[in-house]
Amino acid sequence: MQWLQEGDANSKKIHGVMSNRRRHNAINMVSVGEVNVEGVQNIREVVFDHFSTHFKVVREGQPGIQGLHFRKLSFGEAGNLT
């Protein structure tokens, strides 16, 4: 960034640094259990499946509030909350 801000035309150096960073940050393979998954589309599907199973809504087994009685606040008590 300093080279770009100061106007240095050392674009070969910048390109080398950015290419190295891109290679270092790339995900080439993901291990799923005993299986290694390679390829952009295959990795994308595995990651999507992983997060979609962890963040989906599970409706079964959630406790209900049927039969529970809660005390209601009076207007004066509710006014004191604010």
Whole-number percent of the chain with pLDDT over 90: 24
Look at residue 70 and tell me whether its pLDDT is greater than 80: yes
Look at residue 7 and tell me whether its pLDDT is greater than 80: no
Residue 81's contacts (CB-CB under 8 Å, 6 or more residues apart) are 73
- Evaluate whether 4 touches 15 at the Cβ level (below 8 Å): no
pTM: 0.45
- Evaluate whether 32 touches 46 at the Cβ level (below 8 Å): yes
What burial class does residue 14 get, using C-beta atoms within 10 Å of its C-beta: 0-12 exposed, 13-18 middle, 19+ buried?
middle
Instruction: Dump pLDDT digits (tens) for 34-55.
Output: 999 999 999 999 999 999 988 8
Spell out the domain ranges in the chain: 2-81
| Separation CA 57–CA 48 (nearest Å) | 16
pLDDT of residue 8: 63
